[in-house]
Chains A and B, each alone.
Chain A
Amino acid sequence: MAIVIRTRWNLLMILLLGVGLAWIWVNRAPAGTSNAGSLSPAPAVGHPAPDFTLTTARGERFVMSAQRGKPVVLNFWATWCPPCRAEVAELEEAHRQYAGQIVIVGVDQAEPAADVRAFAAQYGLTYPMPLDSQAEVSRKYAVRSLPTTFFIDRDGVVRRIAHGPVNRATLAQLLRTIFP
């Protein structure tokens, strides 16, 4: 009787192994395939980042879709926000370290250009700071708290969203999701 019971259990395990491997095989997700191209732009992981055009504090035009081909760190911030001020040095350092390889952008939320320019000069910030004067881009990206940072890969797909400030270590960790 013991042999019969043991055989039944063995058959059950073999059946599970066979069915299990078949289900795994038919549901493979080959590396490099992504359905992001078929998705609508949205501020969500796996979706293409919504496009926008803004003027920077220095008066230059910044077009999000024109950054395609390079990873983008899209940071929403404001000068009055203490956690935002805490992370600008790390963003500036990354901007200098990865110049030409990663685009670091600080979208300022609804502040006068003069205030942003003065702040940038005070902290020695050189990365582009588009001015979201009507907060339209913030709404498009569903930004509910500052700072919020989107990590967008070279194909323009959102890979990570960080709510709250980043430090040097967490920025290094998050950059690994989009670079190299």
Chain B
Amino acid sequence: MLPILQIGSLAIPTYPLALVLAGWVGLEVGSRVAARLGLDGDHIYNAGLYALLVGLIASRLGHVIAFWPAYRTQPLEIVGLNTRALLLWPGVAAGLIVAAWYVHRRKLPWAAMLDAAAAGALAAIAVASLGEFLGGQNVGAAANAPWAVSFWGVKRHPVQIYEALAAVAVLAATLSALRLPAGPGTATWLAALGYGLSRWLLEPFRAESATVLNGVRAWQAAGLALALIALWGLRGRIGSVGQTEEG
């Protein structure tokens, strides 16, 4: 665990640093995959940066709405630089809408862009998970396994490393799928299947999870739902290719 990177008198928190790095790695990998698919890689950077910008604004607006009584008395804080004053989901939703608008506006091929974005997202998840490990965020459940790591005197599953390795494995499968005859879009379904399965499988190794009915871990259930939807999507693509080849 290395929560702070100390360079002389400068103390840099590693987790936020890893998140910035994850964003860059995601855009770079997505851009390279886009180029491999015959697209201009800059489209991934453009869509990603527009999404980031609008996402940040929406995250702040979401925070302002959610905590309006506090902002009403401190209106300057609405445009303040406090990076904690953000709500995740409004930002994610707005970012996705803007990225979709960019693809639509430029008349780019949806399936190929999604394939490139999926690869970039998986690379970003891998780096962010390593950042979680270094920063001691979202630690694993207590464990006696030989590879367990000690966080504050408790040996725990290095669940962040599991998640990073899973993301790398799914990324490798996604890149391989780009060569499949099933065509553009197949890699996206495969990425969704792999990521969904990894969340479903690994969530119980986290020390704490958000729960829904009867203690069901919310992200585990969401992972299974994503995997099933992705399997249904692959069924339509790979199934029909197999049918054509055999027919």
Residues in chain A within 8 A of chain B (CB atoms): 1-2, 5-6, 9-10, 12-13, 16-17, 20-21, 23-25, 27-31, 33, 35, 39-40, 42-47, 144-145, 162-173
Contacts and interface: CB of A to CB of B under 8 A. Distances in A.
Given A20-B228, A23-B201, A168 B73 contact: yes
Most buried by B among A23, A28, A43: A28
Interface in B147-193: 151-154
Given A24-B217, A165-B82, 12 more contacts: A2-B247, A9-B235, A16-B231, A17-B228, A23-B220, A27-B203, A33-B215, A39-B154, A46-B208, A168-B67, A168-B71, A169-B71
A13 B228 contact: yes
- Interface pairs A-B: 4 shortest CB-CB: A42-B152, A27-B204, A30-B215, A28-B215
B152 A145 contact: no
Contact of A12 (B73, B85, B208, B231): B231
Interface of B: 4, 11, 13, 63-64, 66-67, 69-71, 73-74, 77, 80, 82, 84-85, 136, 139, 142, 151-154, 200-201, 203-204, 207-209, 211, 214-217, 220-221, 224, 227-228, 231-232, 235, 239, 242-243, 246-247
Given A16-B228, A17-B228, A40-B152, A31 B142 contact: no
A40 B154 CA distance: 8
A86 to B, nearest CB: 10
Contact of A29 (B69, B209, B227, B231): B209
Contacts of A45: 139, 208
Contacts of B227: 16, 20
B154 A28 contact: no
A168 B215 CA distance: 33
Most buried by A among B74, B152, B242, B246: B152
Given A6-B235, A16-B228, A24-B220, A169 B154 contact: no
Given A13-B228, A16-B228, A24 B82 contact: no
B139 A24 contact: no
A152 to B, nearest CB: 15
Contacts, number: 123
A163 B67 contact: no
8 contacts: A13-B228, A17-B224, A23-B204, A24-B200, A27-B204, A44-B151, A168-B67, A168-B73
A135 to B, nearest CB: 16
B224 A20 contact: yes
A125 B208 CA distance: 36
Contacts of B64: 169
A159 to B, nearest CB: 10
A167 B228 CA distance: 43
Contacts of B217: 24, 27-29
A145 B77 CA distance: 23
B78 to A, nearest CB: 9
A169 B85 contact: yes
Contacts of A39: 152, 154
A178 to B, nearest CB: 15
B11 A145 contact: yes
A47 B152 contact: yes
Given A6-B235, A169-B71, A31 B220 contact: no
A114 B2 CA distance: 37
A168 B235 contact: no
B74 A169 contact: yes
B246 A27 contact: no
A44 B13 contact: no
Nearest to A28: B215
Contacts of B235: 6, 9-10, 13
